[in-house]
Amino acid sequence: MPKKITSTKTSTSVVVEQPEEVNVAPVMEQLEAKIEKKIVESESEVETDKEEVNAIDALVIELTENIATMKELTSRSQADLKKLIREIQIERKKAEKGGKKKEKKVRNGTTGLDNELKVTTSEFRQFVEKNYQQLKDSDDNQIVIELKYDTDGSLLVSRKMAHKLVNSYVKMQKLQYEDNGKRIHMDKTLQKLFPENAEKKEKGVVTREENFYFTSVMKAISTHLASANPK
């Protein structure tokens, strides 16, 4: 029951009712429980969302790796296919060439290069007579088996034969330049045979560079042989 409080300030007495105390503890407990439940549910939803995001990320990574692998395999397959096609084309050309062998032309008589000419210089005659037995062609056969001489005693050699002898001498003596296989280094023998192509010095100073190549040989030997059509 409400308590009655008597005031003695005045002669009039007033009765004030004191409200009854309310127990809010159960209400607060219920509220806290609801809040805690909501927090747990929210955290659970966040964890679920994280797991889903992680799963999607892992799937994306896996797909990206698979695509990269497929691209690499496709690129390798294309390269292998191109290589196979090239090999087939090469083999086909070889087969076609093998089936269509060119017939060698049979020459009637000799060409101008095969005509035997007199050696007109002692330098070239000495060169041929000294070296012919050891000079060989690309098949390792001796180029000149036996020397021929004219009735006047002149040595007879064709331009073709002379060209082969000089080239064989260059290769036998290993006179080709390493950086340019077409260029010939002139030793003392070649300098004596072809002075117009050799290096020239005056007072120790080079006034003309050495200039001798395989393409120079045919022209150079002409000075040592008689003309095919003397006038």
Q: Is the dihedral of CA 155, 122, 225, 124 positive or negative?
A: positive
pLDDT band for position 227 (cuts 50, 70, 90) = confident
Residue 79 has pLDDT above 50, yes or no: yes
Q: Which residue has the tokens 């023998």?
A: 189
pLDDT at residue 228, as a whole number: 65
Q: What is the mean pLDDT of the chain?
A: 82
Per-residue pLDDT of 103-139, as tens digits, reads 555 555 556 889 999 999 999 999 999 999 999 999 9
Per-residue pLDDT of 156-193, as tens digits, reads 999 999 999 999 999 999 999 999 999 999 999 999 99
| Burial grade of 62 (CB within 10 A; 0-12, 13-18, 19 or more) | exposed
CA distance 224 to 12: 166
pLDDT at residue 7, as a whole number: 47
Q: What is the dihedral of CA 65, 71, 72, 73, to 10 degrees?
A: 110
pLDDT at residue 65, as a whole number: 81
Per-residue pLDDT of 27-38, as tens digits, reads 777 777 777 777
